[in-house]
Amino acid sequence: QVHLVESGGGVVQPGRSLRLSCAASGFTFSSYFMYWVRQAPGKGLEWVAVISNDGSHEYYADSVKGRFTISRDNSKNALFLQMSSLRAEDTAVYYCARDKDIMLTFGGVINYWGQGTLVTVSS
């Protein structure tokens, strides 16, 4: 079955960088659009970024555009989120997620989720 495992979270100082990873298994990774969604402590869900199946297209939330970069390595079934210029408001659990269906365009259903990795931005 679909399995998504995030890693790379931790405590980081404001202004520093961090790279999250997501190991995918149980499906043909290269066929699916992938997402990062985050949730600040006690707050709601916030979509962060999405990447097409071949990595050729990506979109970002306004709050992270220019600071975060989503990427993937289809040969290693891995999704990444490179986060730079981190701020206190980036503190959250970051979820890796997969689209429900094989899509040709954006706008699908975020169907499968990992258990998340906590990023804490604090001095």
Partner 1 sequence: SYVLTQPPSVSVAPGQTATITCGGNSIGYKSVQWYQQRPGQAPVVVVYDDSDRPSGIPERFSGSNSGNAVTLTISRVEAGDEADYYCQVWDSTSDHYVFGPGTKVTVL
Instruction: Choose the binding region for partner 1 from 10-18, 19-27, 81-89, 106-114 (rule: CB under 8 A).
Output: 106-114
Distances (CA, A) of 98 to 4, 19, 84: 8, 19, 23
The reply on whether position 111 binds partner 1 by CB under 8 A is yes
Other CB atoms within a 10 A radius of the CB of residue 92 amount to 22
Find the shortest distance in angstroms from Cβ 52 to partner 1: 12
The 47-86 contact track toward partner 1, x by CB under 8 A, reads x--x--------x-xx------------------------
Dihedral sign of CA atoms 11, 14, 17, 21 in order: positive
Choosing from 23, 67, 69, 110, the residue that interacts with partner 1 (CB under 8 A) is 110
Nearer to partner 1, 13 or 56 (CB): 56
> Would you say 96 and 114 are in contact if contact means Cβ atoms under 8 Å apart?
yes
Show the beta-strand stretches assigned E in the chain.
Answer: 3-7, 10-12, 18-25, 34-39, 45-51, 58-60, 68-73, 78-83, 92-99, 110-113, 117-121
Instruction: Choose the binding region for partner 1 from 13-21, 24-32, 37-45, 69-77 (rule: CB under 8 A).
Output: 37-45
| Residue ranges binding partner 1 (CB under 8 A) | 35, 37, 44-47, 50, 59, 61-62, 95, 100, 106-111, 113-116
